[in-house]
Chain A
Amino acid sequence: MIRSKDDGLRDTALSDKELNRALASTWSAQPGLWGALSTVDHKVIGRRYIATAFVFLALGGVLSLLMRLQLSQPEARFIGPDRYNQIFTMHGSNMMFLFAVPVMQAMAVYLVPLMVGTRNIAFPRLNAFSYWIYVAGGLLLWTAFIVDTGPDVGWFAYVPLSGPQYGVGKRADIWAQMITFTEVSALAIAVEIVVTVFKQRGPGMSLDRIPLFVWSMLVTSFLIILAMPAIMIASTSLILDRLVGTHFFNPAEGGDVLLWQHLFWFFGHPEVYIIFLPAVGMVSTIVATFTRRPVFGYLAMVMALVATGVLAFGLWVHHMFVAGLPRLGESFFTASSMAIAVPAGLQIFCWLATIWAGKPIFKTPFLFVIGFIVIFVIGGLTGVMVASVPFDTQVHDTYFVVAHFHYVLVGGAVFPLLGAIYYWFPKLTGKMMSETLGRWVFGLIFVGFNLTFFPMHILGLQGMPRRIYTYQPEMPWAGLNMFISLSAIVLAAGFLLFFVDAIRSARSGAVASANPWGASTLEWATASPPQPYNFARPPVVGSREPLWAEATALPVAAGLRVDRRELLITGVVEGIPEARESSVGNSIWPLWAALATTLTLVWSIFSPWAVVWGSIPVAVSLIGWFWPKGVLEDES
């Protein structure tokens, strides 16, 4: 474990004050713009990631208001069909690929290293690279939209509409390449999280002491690693069909249009759980803190997370119930889709049991959890409905489904996320958000959401298909549509107030203590916001709720070097220390590599030769990235 040659300065040789000073100089980013661009601190990158994702949320929200404007009256002419098709495609793609998945991963980038008690995420430079690639993908999509070449084929881009024959111009290519950007960035984080959770947990944090949020992110990361390759194959095949004339999806040449749907939904359904499982972890954390007790049924909760993750790969065909597949196959997928209600139900029951046994404290994060349960149970039950083949044949691709997945994704993921922002804001920024405004935010969003989305169930059953830019006056939908459009204003007001509260609090909110909620997990064992090195001494974990078990002072490990970035590597199962490992320093190369990759990917929308010529700058930037510089970090 300790090499004989190793004679660097250890933390055991220093007083607390000297230690903090030494660690700060080792772990800090360089000052100024260069430092901001070259930092590999998971907290800085995590915060950036979260802020960027919320910018995309706001932009996606503006798009939804434009749609509601157009749909408020029959045969309205505010927005033409071409622009409308771009808007709903952008709304879906933006919310799924640029907001929901990234924001959940971003929360993990910030929180997981803190919650497991380590100093930085695994592969910190990859983490920086991931952020730049994500931003580039977002800029690509939105730039295209602004210059009127936004994708217009829906967020699942069914062929042949998105294929070379019907999807003219570069719109579908931009969509497909945006997928490449976001999947690369998502895969990078998934790998970092898995390694961080498996190898960098604090000493003593055995598998059964991992916080539930960390468990949820671990399962989510495996889902990403297993699901995302399917969509990358799909989008790459689509680009090949469009750019170099392959025929993967062309039935006239032996291709198959349903192949696209299988590949897309083999990713697309796990995608829902990639968004939902982190929310499960957030809810578990918030419930525990605000009922002052550990979540009921820890083992059952973990098993439910894993079971959901496994079942998530056996449901994709329920998106294709009306595509004309064999009946026996459809029956299987009805049963498997229904079955996922069991682990979901188990989680709900465990939270209810926790609240039942505890004494709830009604702070804003907990209000969002209550809202989550009310709304998500509806979304889950409508999910059971659409799992039934005959039921689905009447509601598939209608506003019923629009209502269903907003109940699942907004109720199941955005409500917990907003609660999580209110909950972890003090750790993220060192300031508290406003409790008064928080109640208004919750009230407006809860009421606005239900008034906006519940009537859509009825519209769907009344025969209104989704993705229509207008409807004829003789259809009986005008009244409800106007009502929905007006309700959307209430919902938007709630989000606007949330942004106001967040920005105002970050600037001038009340200063937060290290553990303002009296929570139990390790991120609260350090300052708000934490120092660049997270913990002066790595905490040792003796129970599942370390901060509740050790009321006065947390035991810590000692012996790490302070003159280079060093962290503890521990065993996967028991969390027994195995080695001291260096963690890389700041570097500008991830940014260059991201720019080179961006150049290659954007160029390849227009020419296949980009892959050849673009590989040169990519190779150069990677050589720079990994070039040994003879510094301390390179030794191990």
Chain B
Amino acid sequence: MRAARVIALWVATTACGCSGNQSALAPSGAPALHIEHLIIGIVALCAVIWLAVMVVLAGALWRKPQEDDAEIRQRRLTVVVTAAVAATAILIAGMTVASFYTTRSIGLPERASITITVRAQQWWWQVFYASSGQTSGFQTANEIHTPVGQDVHVRLESADVIHSFWIPSLAGKQDLVPGRSNSLLLRAEKPGVYRGQCAEFCGLQHSHMAVMVIAEAPADYARWIASQSADAIPTTGADVAAGRAAFLAKPCAACHTIRGTAANGTTGPDLTHVGSRQTIAAGLVETTRGSMAAWIADPQTLKPGNNMPMVPLTSIELQDISAYMESLK
């Protein structure tokens, strides 16, 4: 029984939704695949160059000095050194050209049919989906859904300091610079959860600023878009209703928006469908009622220095609000 609990706990922690792929060496998107080929090629070539230099160094160190003619030796060394410099120039030129071709094969993000805007803030990611056809535009946070096999243009902006958007398994990184708008091409080749995190130092909680890209089949993606663009689902159950009332009565609503309610603050993440996201607090913890309660009760212990204040709540209120948050699928 005890062993079963331990195993269950182990499964729960390792199967945590926040542990998506985050490695340049495990690419699943076209740009990352192109770059991986370049990385492997250049690293292999450089390893060979390094080994060659080491062999020459070892030879030079342990060679028995020969009493050969100084002038001939000098001439020979001149030829060898000149040849080595020429080889360096050729290899460098080759790597430069390979690098240009990789950039070209990645292509331009502006040609993609889907555009998502990511606006980084200390220390979370605000994500905007524009309205299209029958669905209205909406906002979400720290979680980006994309259709598998389609180019996605991510527009990158910052609300405060410089951040950097990096999903290593899908593409290289790109900075989000205040006063500018940058672009990045994302394309996932197979469904999955791809984790990334801020790569430009941005202050106290730079370490806890993760973002998930969830790539799914086009039909699933369309369903997700439809559900996200709808207002928050109506409350069911007494505790959830009480939680909703508490949320609106407390300072929560001053910072957060829940579409379909009076809560329309814009400082913090939009919570309309927070319960549907895999993690909260920018990839910090998995979304459960318990983690919601822990976060709301004391955000400064879990993520010291972040901009969410501790709102004094009774334990009943805390439970109700957590239940309400979890219900916002």
Q: A: which residues have CB within 8 A of B?
A: 80-82, 85, 153-154, 158, 160-161, 165-166, 251-252, 256-258, 296-297, 300, 322-324, 327, 331, 334-335, 338-339, 341-342, 345-346, 348-350, 352-353, 355-360, 370, 373-374, 377-378, 381-382, 384-385, 387-398, 461-463, 465-475
Would B103 and A327 count as touching, CB distance under 8 A?
yes
Q: Choose among B80, B171, B175, B195 the residue with the greatest number of A CB atoms under 10 Å from its CB.
A: B175
Number of residues from B at the complex interface, CB < 8 A: 85
* Chain B residue with Cβ nearest A340: B92
Tell me, rounded to whole Å, the shortest Cβ–Cβ distance linking A457 to chain B: 9
Interchain Cβ contacts under 8 Å between A and B, 17 examples: A82-B304, A85-B203, A161-B161, A161-B202, A338-B95, A342-B92, A345-B85, A348-B53, A358-B65, A377-B50, A377-B54, A384-B46, A391-B42, A397-B201, A461-B25, A462-B25, A471-B207
Q: Which of B15-23, B132-140, B321-329 contacts A (4 or more CB under 8 A)?
A: B15-23
In the assembled complex, B242 has its CB within 8 A of some CB on chain A: no
In the assembled complex, B2 has its CB within 8 A of some CB on chain A: no
> Which residues of A lie under 8 Å from residue B261 when comparing CB positions?
none
Would A80 and B23 count as touching, CB distance under 8 A?
no
What 0/1 readout, one digit per residue, does chain B (147-180) give for beta carbons within 8 Å of chain A?
Answer: 0000000001000111010101001111101111
Q: Choose among A300, A370, A384, A475 the residue with the greatest number of B CB atoms under 10 Å from its CB.
A: A384
- Residue of B95, B162, B175, B205 touching A160 (CB-CB under 8 A): B162
Q: How far is the CA of A165 from the CA of B122 in the complex (A)?
A: 13
Q: How far is the CA of A81 from the CA of B171 in the complex (A)?
A: 28
Would B174 and A341 count as touching, CB distance under 8 A?
no
Would A393 and B174 count as touching, CB distance under 8 A?
yes
Would A357 and B57 count as touching, CB distance under 8 A?
no
Q: How far is the CA of A360 from the CA of B59 in the complex (A)?
A: 12
Q: Which of B33-41, B214-222, B290-298 contacts A (4 or more CB under 8 A)?
A: B33-41
What 0/1 readout, one digit per residue, does chain B (4-39) give for beta carbons within 8 Å of chain A?
Answer: 000000000110101100111100000010110011
> Which residues of A lie under 8 Å from residue B22 when comparing CB positions?
462-463, 475
What 0/1 readout, one digit per residue, does chain B (256-292) give for beta carbons within 8 Å of chain A?
Answer: 0000000000000000000000000001100000000
> Which residues of A lie under 8 Å from residue B96 when comparing CB positions?
334-335, 338, 388
Would A398 and B172 count as touching, CB distance under 8 A?
no
**Nearest 3 Cβ contacts at the A-B interface:** A393-B172, A251-B179, A324-B182
* Chain A residue with Cβ nearest B80: A353
> Which residues of B lie under 8 Å from residue A392 when comparing CB positions?
172
| Given A353-B77, A385-B43, A390-B38, 8 extra CB contacts under 8 A | A81-B305, A82-B304, A82-B305, A324-B156, A385-B42, A388-B102, A396-B173, A474-B16
* Chain A residue with Cβ nearest B305: A81
> Which residues of A lie under 8 Å from residue B162 when comparing CB positions?
158, 160-161, 257
Tell me, rounded to whole Å, the shortest Cβ–Cβ distance linking B15 to chain A: 10
Would A251 and B201 count as touching, CB distance under 8 A?
no
What 0/1 readout, one digit per residue, does chain B (81-113) give for beta carbons within 8 Å of chain A?
Answer: 100110011001101101110110010000000
Q: How far is the CA of A576 from the CA of B161 in the complex (A)?
A: 58
* Chain A residue with Cβ nearest B77: A353
Tell me, rounded to whole Å, the shortest Cβ–Cβ distance linking B156 to chain A: 8
Would A341 and B204 count as touching, CB distance under 8 A?
no
- Residue of A158, A257, A341, A394 touching B173 (CB-CB under 8 A): A394
Q: How far is the CA of A578 from the CA of B92 in the complex (A)?
A: 47
Q: Choose among B13, B73, B78, B99 the residue with the greatest number of A CB atoms under 10 Å from its CB.
A: B99
Would B85 and A82 count as touching, CB distance under 8 A?
no
Q: How many contacts A-B (CB < 8 Å)?
A: 227
Tell me, rounded to whole Å, the shortest Cβ–Cβ distance linking B99 to chain A: 4
In the assembled complex, B200 has its CB within 8 A of some CB on chain A: yes
Using known A-B contacts A154-B201, A341-B92, determine if residue A324 contacts B175 with beta carbons closer than 8 Å: yes
Q: How far is the CA of A327 from the CA of B172 in the complex (A)?
A: 15
Would A342 and B305 count as touching, CB distance under 8 A?
no
Tell me, rounded to whole Å, the shortest Cβ–Cβ distance linking A84 to chain B: 9
Tell me, rounded to whole Å, the shortest Cβ–Cβ distance linking A113 to chain B: 33
Q: How far is the CA of A121 from the CA of B145 in the complex (A)?
A: 66
Q: How far is the CA of A381 from the CA of B93 in the complex (A)?
A: 14
Q: How far is the CA of A150 from the CA of B32 in the complex (A)?
A: 38
Tell me, rounded to whole Å, the shortest Cβ–Cβ distance linking A80 to chain B: 6
Would A388 and B65 count as touching, CB distance under 8 A?
no
Q: How far is the CA of A396 from the CA of B100 in the complex (A)?
A: 18
In the assembled complex, B3 has its CB within 8 A of some CB on chain A: no
* Chain B residue with Cβ nearest A163: B161
> Which residues of A lie under 8 Å from residue B203 when comparing CB positions?
85, 161, 166
Q: How far is the CA of A23 from the CA of B191 in the complex (A)?
A: 83
Tell me, rounded to whole Å, the shortest Cβ–Cβ distance linking A383 to chain B: 10
Q: How far is the CA of A331 from the CA of B77 in the complex (A)?
A: 35
Scan residues 42-86 of chain B and give those whose CB is less than 8 A from a CB of chain A: 42-43, 46, 49-50, 53-54, 56-57, 59-61, 63, 65, 73, 77-78, 80-81, 84-85
> Which residues of B lie under 8 Å from residue A472 when comparing CB positions?
18, 208, 210, 283-284
Would A357 and B89 count as touching, CB distance under 8 A?
no
* Chain B residue with Cβ nearest A291: B60
Tell me, rounded to whole Å, the shortest Cβ–Cβ distance linking B291 to chain A: 13
Using known A-B contacts A258-B177, A342-B85, A397-B173, determine if residue A465 contacts B199 with beta carbons closer than 8 Å: yes
- Residue of B57, B81, B100 touching A331 (CB-CB under 8 A): B100
Using known A-B contacts A257-B177, A356-B63, A391-B38, determine if residue A322 contacts B106 with beta carbons closer than 8 Å: no
- Residue of A82, A300, A356, A396 touching B60 (CB-CB under 8 A): A356
- Residue of A256, A345, A394, A475 touching B84 (CB-CB under 8 A): A345
* Chain B residue with Cβ nearest A472: B18
* Chain A residue with Cβ nearest B108: A327
Tell me, rounded to whole Å, the shortest Cβ–Cβ distance linking B14 to chain A: 7
Q: Choose among B178, B179, B199 the residue with the greatest number of A CB atoms under 10 Å from its CB.
A: B199
Q: How far is the CA of A159 from the CA of B257 in the complex (A)?
A: 30
Tell me, rounded to whole Å, the shortest Cβ–Cβ distance linking A159 to chain B: 8
Tell me, rounded to whole Å, the shortest Cβ–Cβ distance linking B124 to chain A: 15
Would B175 and A381 count as touching, CB distance under 8 A?
no
Using known A-B contacts A251-B178, A349-B84, determine if residue A388 contacts B42 with beta carbons closer than 8 Å: yes
Tell me, rounded to whole Å, the shortest Cβ–Cβ distance linking A502 to chain B: 27
